[in-house]
Amino acid sequence: MSERPVWWQAVEAAVGAPLAVDAVGGGEAVIDVAAERLLATVSALRQAWPALHLTAITGLSIGGEVVLLYHLLLDGGLTLRVRCPGAPPNAPSLAPSWPAVNWYEREAHDLLGVAFKGHPNLAPLLVARDWTGGPPLLPVEGER
């Protein structure tokens, strides 16, 4: 990128490492954030842009690993990519400090089994409460 976007400095300070930025189709930037730096990064962004808007959290299952994409909107779109280690995959919850995140985290818990540490209530949101089939977006052995 020839000119650094407005969020660069705040995010780099919070991430604690030089940023590697990918661009995705649709013209938005994607940066990798370690799971343990997620809370600090989002908090730094919210301080710098009080009107920061979280559009969505996309959960992905890529090669046996769960990855979360936090799609933010400030001056333009910015996506934070967080790899979720562990089995079940886990990530820190943003919900206690940002209510907008609450249901998106519940949805990722439903569909991909991500355990959000510190979430006030990870009850099923979309799948039925008596569903026993496992997170629907995780690959099932023997099934494509």
Partner 1 sequence: MSRVTVPIGPQHPLLKEPIALRLDVVGERVVAAEIEIGYVHRGLERLLQGRTFQQGVAVVERICGICSHAHTTAYCQAVEALIDVDLPPRAAAIRTLLCELERLHSHLLWLGVLSEAIGFTTVFMYAWRDREQVLDAMELISGGRIAHGANVVGGVREDVSPAQAREVLTMLRQLEMQLGLYQELVERDRSFHRRTRGIAVLSAAQVQAYGVVGPMARASGATLDIRRSAPYAAYGWLEVPAAVTNEGDVWARAWTRVQELQHSIDLCRTLLSALPAGPLARRVAERVQAGEAVSRVEAPRGELFYYVRSEGERTAARVKARTPTLPALLAMAELLPGLQTGDIAAVVAGCDLCMACADR
Task: Specify the residue, 10 or 73, whose C-beta has the smaller distance to partner 1.
Answer: 73
> Cis peptide before 88, with omega less than 30 degrees from 0?
yes
We find the least distance from the C-beta atom of residue 102 to partner 1, in angstroms, to be: 7
How far apart, in whole angstroms, are the C-alpha atoms of residue 94 and residue 116? 8
> Binding pattern to partner 1, positions 32-71, x when CB under 8 A?
------------------xx-xxxx-xxx--------x-x
For partner 1, which stretch binds (CB under 8 A), given 4-12, 31-39, 84-92, 118-126?
118-126
User: Which is it for strands 77-84 and 28-32: parallel, antiparallel or unpaired?
Assistant: parallel
Under the binding rule (CB under 8 A), the answer on residue 99 touching partner 1 is yes
Q: Which residues bind partner 1 (CB under 8 A)?
A: 24-28, 50-51, 53-56, 58-60, 69, 71, 73, 76-77, 79, 98-100, 102-104, 111, 124-128, 136-137, 144
